[in-house]
Copies of this chain bind each other. A is one copy, B any other.
Amino acid sequence: MLESKFDVMLYVALCGSSEMFIESPRYTERFGSIRMNQVQKVVALDSGLKSELPPHGAMGVIKIDEETIKYYEDRMAIVIPVKDEKLKLFEGVVSGVPHDCLAIVVSNSQIKKVDRFRMEGDALEQLCRFTFRQALIAHQKDPAIAKAAMEAGYDDLLGEDGLVRNGKSEAMVIGLLMAKAAGKEYVGFVDADNYFPGAVLEYVRNYAAGFSLAQSPYSMVRILWQYKPKISGGLYFRKWGRVSEITNKYLNQLMSAKTGFETEVVRTGNAGEHAMSMKLAEVLPYASGYAVEPQELVFMFEGFGGILPSKDRKVMEQGIDIFQIETRNPHLHEEKGDAHLQNMLLSAMSTIYHSPLCDEEVKKTVLAELVNQGVLQEGETPPPVHINAPLKTKKYDELVRAIRDDFDKYQVLH
């Protein structure tokens, strides 16, 4: 009996397939036009056998074939914001990005004294030359980008010195513009401080898997890390987990206060690793600093949650699919210390507190939580965060054209 199974395996392996397995979403919460799926776990990283598995979830598991993954990878740019990361980590992260994705590095690393930006460019070029791929790299403070933004009326992005502001959010926007200029239809974000190239590979494959499940052209995939506290600095991860938990709790409250039904569907409020269809990316605003990821959800709840008047009829009609995918690999990155965790919590809660969706009752609990966590004093309120307006509302096409005109400069291989 077994022998015949082996024969089947032998036969199918020659087809060179290499799918992955993922849980089907157990439940989908609907807020207006938003379809927010419960967390789905990755079950296996590779599933070479073309078995008789029903394609969509009768068994609770979905098989996503390699062609599908490659289809999305080919249409995807992976934006890697960098700021003075260790070069070895940066190289590892880039080496984990699947070959078919366009890697876009947006660096805010130092140029003076030690030219770290140059070192990043050199490392990227060597890797690309070895592996026959193209990549783009730009410096966040490149005056040409600031000039293009100014001419397109996109002043939000600029600081007082007339250059693009510091921050990951602004790097993400530059990355989005470059991805658009390169004709990409999906864009994913990956942090540059990840120790495991294999984890980066999985994030991107999860993005592709999520997109393949979307019904709407407006879709988002957010990664939930599986982390193993014991080996990876228990204390740090516990605190991070706590910040994340609080953010998720109040994001869920923001919705359930309106719908009248409690929910715990949001599990990825602070997900730095996330990806969007370009169509969705174009209509979202991007909050500065640590607020960017939760603010994306808050904005979608506001704009398309069916409670406030919608800002975009097309999106309302088609809906937004949000997937939350829990990785198989644990997450291990450079420890940035605890200081930024307080900031992360404050920023995230600020986006909730200042949302027009946030009623007095939720506001009160948010303030109590922040006082309780020692982030605010009694009587203080969270300062509002800077928000970069959606790209679609500006002279978007001109801005994209201006970026594309400079592509020669950004390409690592000539």
Contacts and interface: CB of A to CB of B under 8 A. Distances in A.
Interface of A: 2-3, 5-6, 9-10, 12-19, 21, 43-49, 51-53, 59-61, 65-67, 70-71, 73-75, 88, 92, 95-96, 98-100, 102, 127, 130-134, 182-183, 195-199, 201-202, 228, 231-233, 328-330, 332, 407, 411
A65 to B, nearest CB: 7
Given A2-B407, A16-B67, A201-B198, A328 B9 contact: no
B21 A131 contact: yes
Contacts of A127: 43-44
Contact of A66 (B16, B96, B233): B16
A6 B183 contact: yes
Nearest to A136: B2
A231 B195 contact: yes
A359 to B, nearest CB: 41
A99 B329 contact: no
Contacts of A66: 16, 18, 66
A100 B13 CA distance: 7
Contacts of A132: 47, 49, 51-53
B70 A197 contact: no
Given A13-B100, A16-B70, 18 more contacts: A2-B407, A3-B183, A14-B74, A16-B66, A44-B95, A45-B96, A45-B197, A45-B198, A45-B201, A48-B74, A49-B99, A49-B133, A51-B132, A59-B130, A196-B199, A196-B330, A198-B198, A332-B332
A365 to B, nearest CB: 34
Given A98-B48, A99-B47, A196-B329, A134 B16 contact: no
A71 B15 CA distance: 9
B70 A198 contact: no
A48 B130 contact: no
A17, A51, A52, A182, most chain B CB atoms within 10 A: A17
Contacts of A92: 328
A70 B46 CA distance: 11
A66 B15 CA distance: 9
B48 A328 contact: no
A5 B411 CA distance: 12
Which 7 pairs from chain A and chain B are nearest by CB? A198-B198, A13-B74, A16-B67, A48-B100, A51-B132, A47-B99, A48-B99
Contacts of A2: 134, 182, 407, 411
A100 B45 CA distance: 12
A13, A53, A61, A99, most chain B CB atoms within 10 A: A99
16 contacts: A10-B74, A15-B70, A44-B127, A46-B99, A46-B201, A47-B132, A48-B74, A48-B98, A49-B100, A60-B130, A88-B228, A195-B231, A195-B330, A197-B328, A198-B202, A231-B233
Nearest to A5: B134
